[in-house]
Structure 1
Amino acid sequence: MKTYQIPFKNTGFFSQIMLDYLEKDESINDFYNNFPSIEGFQSQIVQKKLSYNESTRNKLFSVLDAQYKNIKSHKKVHDNLLKLKLSNSFTITTGHQLNLFTGPLYFLYKIISTINLCEILSKQFPEENFIPVYWMATEDHDFEEINHFSFRQKKVKWSSDQKGGVGRFNTSGLDKVFSVLSDHLGMSRNAEELKKIFKEGYLKHQNLAEGTRYIVDKLFGEYGLVILNADDKVLKRELTPYVKKELFDQTSYKSVSKTSKMLEKKYKTQVNPRKINLFYLIQGTRERLIYENNLFKVNNTDLVFSEEEIIQVLENNPERFSPNVITRPLYQEVILPNLCYIGGGGELAYWLQLKNYFNKVSVPFPILLLRNSVQIISEKQEKKLIRLNISLEELFLNQNELLKNKVNIEAEHSIDFIEQKKYLENQFKKLKLIASKTDASFIGAVNAQEKKQLKGLNNLEKRLLRAEKRKQYDLVERITTIQNEILPNQSLEERQRNFSEYYLEYGARFIEVLKKSLNPLDQKFTVIVMD
């Protein structure tokens, strides 16, 4: 097993806002609190100690203790649960949807980044305890996003007409999914292990939340990962004061809208806040809360509440108020002694819209850490890349660009017209100067002619490149095949493949290799060559 690292910016798959964040660009400084460095964590520990109270800690422990009551998890998990009662214990958290059989590969990278960061911090701050937490998105209602995964580019899907928070979905119908997956997996030892994990998780648990907890615990319990289902009345009661502000003051809307306008000067907005960023959650329903004509209405239902009635519901049934993408991060930071949230680029981009909101409600904004991203390649694939003279960084080029570069190297005469285009541009600069001194009205005609000439040169270059590709057909096929193997659909495999593909080949060793290879504070893209 070998590992290589590439700067995120050299892969072409990461947004400008994330690249600027990693570089600590001054344009983004106002949108985060402490940076993910040892010094940043030292500062964050002090802030969280001052803000997190013992009452909330005890309630968190009691809820988690109850959730793990009948689970035969690893001793390290139960040790971490007990540590949560201590005032010097902090969490590092990642969150994710309840994707079928963990969904895309990057779910594993999120979890391992979280576990490994806790181990790094434990060495740096031996007087404190650091506990990795996976926040299950049990209240999410977008079933279409989570009801499938890809196995060798075949879609394995769970069909169900259930509605509401997906964590509450019963697992009926997953026996059919198990049958389909079993056929795909075959009969090897690793295949049987995968089947057992799926079967024990989904077919022996009543709802999706508990099935997911079992599977994730089976994969990561030995590292002490604590799995939280925050769809809980006791925990929701801790959020009640903030829900009141959300209902009557539109706190998040005002704060996030202001921040978004500032970010929009340079970056794309990830999420747009609503006037009320809450859902109403009951069995079978999770719908937006809307305030109209002095009444609170639950979208797509007949449920309507006066201001007095909504307060009564909040006091008696706080579990019915479900945070959306804007308010969920606040819920997390209110109930956990949390220092850091680990997520993907898209997630962290919307977290950057929230700092002003956190300031407004006086809750410490967590450190934001970009999760590890990984590309797995086999030794055989690495040898092919070497024979084709394709570097790991070149592997991530747009396929047309990659083929152009490699075909050009082997071509008898260069078909890269960069010099000719520069020459043409210089000639037209002189023509524009002459036109401006003679008759400025001719500049438009000169510009049009320049555009026409450059377009003609580009078209000629493309035609010659196509001809050269036909001439070097074998090379083109080999490059196209290897890149498509490694980057399915010309995108990162971590968004396409499921862990089962690699577990089938390498077994539990696959997770062990990831665990050993990934350092979340390195903040670089990792390529792992599996032997």
Structure 2
Amino acid sequence: MPIETIPYKETGFFSKLICDYLAEDDSIRPFYHRFPNIEAFRDQIEEKNKGYDHNFRKTLVSALKKQLEGLSLSEATQANIEALHSEKTFTITTGHQLNLFTGPLYFLYKIISVINLSEALKKEYPDHDFVPVYWMATEDHDFEEINYFNFHGKKIRWNRADGGAVGELSTEGLDAVLEIFDKEMGSGKFSNGLKELFETAYTKHRDLTRATRYLANELFGAYGLVIVDGNDHQLKTAFIPYAQQELEKRTAFNHVTETSSRLKELGYPEQVSPREINLFYLNEGLRERIIEKDGVYHVNNTQISFSVEDIIEELHTYPERFSPNALLRPLYQEVILPNLCYVGGGGELAYWLQLKKYFDTVEVTFPILLLRNSALLIQEKSLDKLKRLQLSVRELFLPVQELENMHTRRISEIDIDFSKQREFLKQQFRSMYEIAEKTDASFLGAVAAQEKKQLNGLDKLEKRLLKAQRRKLSGELERITTLKESLFPGESLQERYKNFSEFYLEYGPELLSVLKKELDPLVNKFTVISW
């Protein structure tokens, strides 16, 4: 059950850019299209309907059916795929890497956000259909980011050679990872179910794309989730004109660079730096940047090169060999999907905010940007500990040092706050200043220096007293630190570290149903859920 929602800004874990976006700060307004509230979707639907190539729907459905062959699809998912034929059907999309066994817990929050938003939109706009979409980042090549997941404080890692797009990596060797995972789980009510889920996904599917597709479908298929793999010849045919423009005109580089400069002037750091060409060349075991020099296009770290004419011919013949990077992937997604909204984390939305002018230039509708749900799952026994320690849930979001100092001041039988002494000292010096003003400037400076020295002395005494009381109360402070670490591992958000399996092991399928029930994608606040 949700026990509290906290403004993202008050958690201390979200950037100024994202907090300003959520506050609809005027400085951010030029960098997005429509703010994510239910009413904004009316105009978004109308605009996307006019801007989307509805003739591509048949190709989209055909590609999806081919990709999903062999999966046991729910009636809801099958109905959603068929619904994409209709001009009254739109998508709500999130994307994620192919992390081993879903990676961090927020993978669930992303997908639940798109499912719940799709359902909310259907209630508001019953004449339309809304399809929740998970876009698999199959073309990424950073294996070190996705080859592990954390379980009970241990990193369960897949060790193998990497190279090329991660989606094409063979799952050979993951049976050894299953053995480690099984041993760490031990016996429990839902351990066999988790083991079977991992085993079927990773030892009975030949590559990481198929394994991840199976896993996501098993977890969310009942809610009608449609899973898309952008690494597809049929789908990339629609992207050929934009990829050609990228090769010939550097459109993304020019406009994103300008937007990034404007954001920097406002004090926001650049999330992703644009390349002159934001495309990779993709082939078996290979995904390398395309670099142009003196009219020749080179594939980085290879002997492959093309003339202008040859690379354009290659693009038209083999569009699947041209892979967009993080800045171009959003455009590719919005070109092929009748999409209204992208749901992502803070880092993702930060680079989407770099893209608005680029989208306008290439005349593709910019989607509504929605920050995915974030949550803290806290058990009743942890809540009981909080009560005994006289702490609130909100206070747990403080850094450890600040939390311990605050608690020490609160429970110490000695008043550690020297504010009264500082005010008394300042009053004494006021009379000294009156005397000093009747003399010369040097004496006035001496009085000011003495006041500062004595105030600094009070600060030092207060810190020493606080340190002494911390030592005296070390037992209770240690209990706070232990509780904090269990809920914020490594002083990070739980969702960025823990894997869903830790919670599924205890609660089973109820985990997903509770999260779906309690997470509201449009609330724009951090949610605390107790169990």
In structure 2, C-alpha distance between the alignment counterparts of 1:45 and 1:428, rounded to whole Å? 67
Query: Which deviates further from its counterpart, 338-347 or 422-431?
Result: 422-431
In structure 2, give the amino acid aligned to 1:258. Answer: E
Q: 1:464 to 1:52 in 2, by over 3 A?
A: same
SS in 1 for 2:86: coil
SS in 2 for 1:412: coil
Deviations 1:299-351 (A, max 9, x none): 11111111111111111111111000110000000000000000011111111
Tell me, yes or no, if structure 1 residue 337 matches structure 2 residue 338: yes
Q: How much has 1:461 moved relative to structure 2?
A: 2.6
Quote the residue 1:171 is aligned against: 171
In structure 1, C-alpha distance between the alignment counterparts of 2:38 and 2:370, rounded to whole Å? 12
Q: 1:391 to 1:309 in 2, by over 3 A?
A: same
Quote the residue 1:505 is aligned against: 506
Q: 1:353 to 1:413 in 2, by over 3 A?
A: same
Q: How much has 1:422 moved relative to structure 2?
A: 6.6
In structure 2, C-alpha distance between the alignment counterparts of 1:395 and 1:405, rounded to whole Å? 11
Deviations 1:380-422 (A, max 9, x none): 1111111222111111111111111111122223223455567
Tell me, yes or no, if structure 1 residue 278 matches structure 2 residue 274: no
Tell me, yes or no, if structure 1 residue 88 matches structure 2 residue 88: yes
Tell me, yes or no, if structure 1 residue 35 matches structure 2 residue 35: yes
Query: Could you tell me whether the CA contact under 8 Å between 1:288 and 1:299 is conserved in 2?
Result: yes
In structure 2, give the amino acid aligned to 1:218. Answer: E
In structure 1, C-alpha distance between the alignment counterparts of 2:426 and 2:295, rounded to whole Å? 64
Q: How much has 1:481 moved relative to structure 2?
A: 1.8
Query: Could you tell me whether the CA contact under 8 Å between 1:149 and 1:498 is conserved in 2?
Result: yes
Summarize the alignment of residues 337-416 of structure 1 with structure 2, pairs less than 5 Å apart.
337-416=338-417
Q: How much has 1:270 moved relative to structure 2?
A: 0.8
Q: How much has 1:465 moved relative to structure 2?
A: 1.1
Quote the residue 1:302 is aligned against: 303
Tell me, yes or no, if structure 1 residue 260 matches structure 2 residue 260: yes
Q: 1:516 to 1:428 in 2, by over 3 A?
A: farther
SS in 1 for 2:71: coil
Deviations 1:157-180 (A, max 9, x none): 001113000001110110110010
Q: 1:49 to 1:183 in 2, by over 3 A?
A: same
Q: 1:247 to 1:388 in 2, by over 3 A?
A: same
In structure 1, give the amino acid aligned to 2:301. Answer: N
In structure 2, C-alpha distance between the alignment counterparts of 1:279 and 1:434, rounded to whole Å? 75
Quote the residue 2:319 is aligned against: 318
In structure 2, C-alpha distance between the alignment counterparts of 1:437 and 1:146, rounded to whole Å? 72
Query: Could you tell me whether the CA contact under 8 Å between 1:92 and 1:340 is conserved in 2?
Result: yes
SS in 2 for 1:3: strand
In structure 2, C-alpha distance between the alignment counterparts of 1:448 and 1:316, rounded to whole Å? 78
In structure 1, give the amino acid aligned to 2:404. Answer: L
In structure 1, give the amino acid aligned to 2:222. Answer: E
In structure 2, C-alpha distance between the alignment counterparts of 1:49 and 1:140, rounded to whole Å? 30
Q: How much has 1:186 moved relative to structure 2?
A: 1.3
Query: Which deviates further from its counterpart, 261-270 or 217-226?
Result: 261-270
Deviations 1:476-513 (A, max 9, x none): 12222221221111111101100000000000001111
5+ unaligned residues in a row in structure 2: which ranges? Answer: none
In structure 2, give the amino acid aligned to 1:501. Answer: E
Query: Could you tell me whether the CA contact under 8 Å between 2:412 and 2:469 is conserved in 1?
Result: yes
Q: 1:414 to 1:336 in 2, by over 3 A?
A: same
In structure 2, C-alpha distance between the alignment counterparts of 1:421 and 1:433, rounded to whole Å? 19
Deviations 1:353-391 (A, max 9, x none): 110110010001000000100100111111111122211
In structure 1, C-alpha distance between the alignment counterparts of 2:63 and 2:442, rounded to whole Å? 77
Summarize the alignment of residues 28-67 of structure 1 with structure 2, pairs less than 5 Å apart.
28-67=28-67
Query: Could you tell me whether the CA contact under 8 Å between 1:113 and 1:518 is conserved in 2?
Result: yes
SS in 1 for 2:141: coil
In structure 2, C-alpha distance between the alignment counterparts of 1:246 and 1:422, rounded to whole Å? 65
Q: 1:238 to 1:189 in 2, by over 3 A?
A: same
SS in 2 for 1:240: helix
Q: 1:41 to 1:425 in 2, by over 3 A?
A: farther
In structure 1, give the amino acid aligned to 2:16. Answer: Q
Q: How much has 1:90 moved relative to structure 2?
A: 0.3
Q: How much has 1:454 moved relative to structure 2?
A: 5.6
Quote the residue 2:193 is aligned against: 193
In structure 2, give the amino acid aligned to 1:209. Answer: T
Query: Could you tell me whether the CA contact under 8 Å between 2:61 and 2:85 is conserved in 1?
Result: yes
Q: 1:458 to 1:237 in 2, by over 3 A?
A: farther
SS in 2 for 1:38: coil
Q: How much has 1:10 moved relative to structure 2?
A: 1.4
SS in 2 for 1:395: helix
In structure 1, C-alpha distance between the alignment counterparts of 2:139 and 2:120, rounded to whole Å? 31
Query: Which deviates further from its counterpart, 394-403 or 208-217?
Result: 394-403
Q: 1:362 to 1:464 in 2, by over 3 A?
A: same
Deviations 1:129-159 (A, max 9, x none): 0000000000000000000010011000001
Q: 1:435 to 1:344 in 2, by over 3 A?
A: farther
SS in 2 for 1:206: coil
In structure 2, C-alpha distance between the alignment counterparts of 1:440 and 1:245, rounded to whole Å? 70
Q: 1:322 to 1:473 in 2, by over 3 A?
A: same
Deviations 1:46-72 (A, max 9, x none): 110001112221111110011112211
Quote the residue 2:134 is aligned against: 134
SS in 2 for 1:27: coil
Quote the residue 1:241 is aligned against: 241
SS in 1 for 2:312: helix
Identity %: 53
Query: Could you tell me whether the CA contact under 8 Å between 1:18 and 1:349 is conserved in 2?
Result: yes
In structure 1, C-alpha distance between the alignment counterparts of 2:44 and 2:392, rounded to whole Å? 39
In structure 2, give the amino acid aligned to 1:287. Answer: E
In structure 2, C-alpha distance between the alignment counterparts of 1:489 and 1:432, rounded to whole Å? 50
- After TM superposition, the score normalised by the length of structure 1 is 0.95
Query: Could you tell me whether the CA contact under 8 Å between 2:291 and 2:299 is conserved in 1?
Result: yes
Q: 1:463 to 1:321 in 2, by over 3 A?
A: same
RMSD: 2.2
SS in 1 for 2:91: strand
Q: How much has 1:184 moved relative to structure 2?
A: 0.8
Q: 1:250 to 1:429 in 2, by over 3 A?
A: farther
Tell me, yes or no, if structure 1 residue 156 matches structure 2 residue 159: no
Query: Could you tell me whether the CA contact under 8 Å between 1:139 and 1:231 is conserved in 2?
Result: yes
Quote the residue 2:20 is aligned against: 20
In structure 2, C-alpha distance between the alignment counterparts of 1:431 and 1:146, rounded to whole Å? 66
In structure 2, give the amino acid aligned to 1:313. Answer: E
In structure 2, C-alpha distance between the alignment counterparts of 1:217 and 1:493, rounded to whole Å? 24
5+ unaligned residues in a row in structure 1: which ranges? Answer: none
In structure 1, C-alpha distance between the alignment counterparts of 2:56 and 2:25, rounded to whole Å? 36
In structure 1, give the amino acid aligned to 2:499. Answer: N
In structure 1, C-alpha distance between the alignment counterparts of 2:68 and 2:139, rounded to whole Å? 19
Query: Which deviates further from its counterpart, 482-491 or 219-228?
Result: 482-491
Q: How much has 1:473 moved relative to structure 2?
A: 2.5
Q: 1:199 to 1:294 in 2, by over 3 A?
A: same
SS in 1 for 2:287: strand
Quote the residue 1:100 is aligned against: 100
Query: Could you tell me whether the CA contact under 8 Å between 1:3 and 1:517 is conserved in 2?
Result: no
Paired residues in the alignment total 530
In structure 2, C-alpha distance between the alignment counterparts of 1:429 and 1:298, rounded to whole Å? 73
In structure 1, C-alpha distance between the alignment counterparts of 2:433 and 2:358, rounded to whole Å? 52
Q: How much has 1:449 moved relative to structure 2?
A: 7.1
In structure 2, C-alpha distance between the alignment counterparts of 1:80 and 1:452, rounded to whole Å? 72
In structure 2, C-alpha distance between the alignment counterparts of 1:312 and 1:436, rounded to whole Å? 85
Q: How much has 1:240 moved relative to structure 2?
A: 0.8
Query: Could you tell me whether the CA contact under 8 Å between 2:2 and 2:527 is conserved in 1?
Result: no
SS in 2 for 1:465: helix
In structure 2, C-alpha distance between the alignment counterparts of 1:432 and 1:260, rounded to whole Å? 51
